[in-house]
């Protein structure tokens, strides 16, 4: 049975959602009640995998099913943080940013744009992707990764042999292509979760 407080829909009428993509750090407001920090048990903390995540309402909301949350976090970390070969971290983050740009997830795009900029040192190029979208004029390797990300994101997905060929021609090895597919596919799912469970919080109005 779903606890009554978990079924309560939250509204944020005073929130002024950001209306542009940015590398700025944003907050997130849930549409359903997350668990309160004081109600978290050891089982919930095992699902969160790190105690610091208890400060985030985004993680405390799916912590109502801690085993599933734990699997989600471990999958995420293995796709993006595993440095044992494969696609460079910057380009995994680039794929997540491009997917989030196509899906309209301003919050996810901001997080992964910052990581893409940090790990690549190409903040201006990341800003160009955020501003111009997947048609941004970038170098061939990044342009191919962004285009392939968009093809995986569309409904129906159009990713196929042509995109694999283009990625190989841009210099990606098959191991790197596998990492790219995992990063883009995971964030297609993660965007939908984020967009359905809440909204990004805009800056407080100036006095």
Mean pLDDT of the chain: 94
pLDDT of residue 50: 96
pLDDT of residue 84: 86
pLDDT of residue 4: 59
Residue 23 Cα to chain centre, angstroms = 13
Q: Please say whether the beta carbons of 123 and 31 come within 8 A.
A: no
pTM: 0.92
Instruction: Please give the DSSP secondary-structure letter assigned to residue 27.
Output: E
Give the other-Cβ count within 10 Å of 10's Cβ. Answer: 12
- The rounded distance, in Å, linking the Cα atoms of 47 and 147 is 35
Instruction: Please give the DSSP secondary-structure letter assigned to residue 199.
Output: E
Structural domain boundaries in the chain: 41-81, 87-195
- How deeply is 116 buried, as exposed, middle or buried, from its count of CB atoms within 10 A (0-12, 13-18, 19+)? buried
pLDDT of residue 1: 46
- The rounded distance, in Å, linking the Cα atoms of 22 and 42 is 36
pLDDT of residue 90: 98
Spell out the CATH class of 87-195. Answer: mainly alpha
- The rounded distance, in Å, linking the Cα atoms of 170 and 28 is 36
All residue ranges of the chain with pLDDT < 70 are: 1-7, 203-207
CA–CA distances in Å: residue 169 to residues 10, 24, 42, 163, 178: 48, 34, 49, 10, 15
């Amino acid at each position: 049975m779903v606890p009554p407080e978990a079924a309560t829909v939250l509204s944020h009428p005073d929130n002024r959602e950001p209306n542009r993509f940015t590398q700025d750090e944003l907050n997130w407001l849930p549409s359903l009640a997350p668990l309160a920090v004081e109600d978290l048990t050891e089982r919930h903390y095992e699902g969160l995998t790190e105690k610091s995540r208890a400060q985030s309402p985004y993680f405390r909301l799916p912590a109502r099913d801690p085993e599933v949350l734990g699997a989600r976090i471990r999958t995420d970390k293995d796709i993006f943080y595993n440095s044992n070969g494969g696609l460079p971290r910057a380009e995994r983050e680039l794929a997540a940013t491009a997917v989030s740009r196509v899906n309209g997830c301003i919050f996810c795009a901001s997080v992964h744009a910052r990581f893409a900029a940090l790990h690549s040192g190409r903040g201006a190029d990341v800003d160009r992707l955020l501003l111009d979208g997947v048609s941004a004029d970038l170098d061939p390797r990044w342009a191919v990764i962004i285009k392939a990300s968009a093809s995986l994101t569309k409904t129906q997905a159009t990713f196929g042999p042509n995109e694999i060929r283009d990625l190989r021609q841009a210099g990606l090895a098959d191991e790197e292509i596998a990492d790219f597919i995992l990063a883009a596919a995971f964030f297609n799912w993660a965007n939908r979760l984020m967009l359905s469970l809440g909204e990004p919080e805009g800056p407080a109005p100036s006095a």
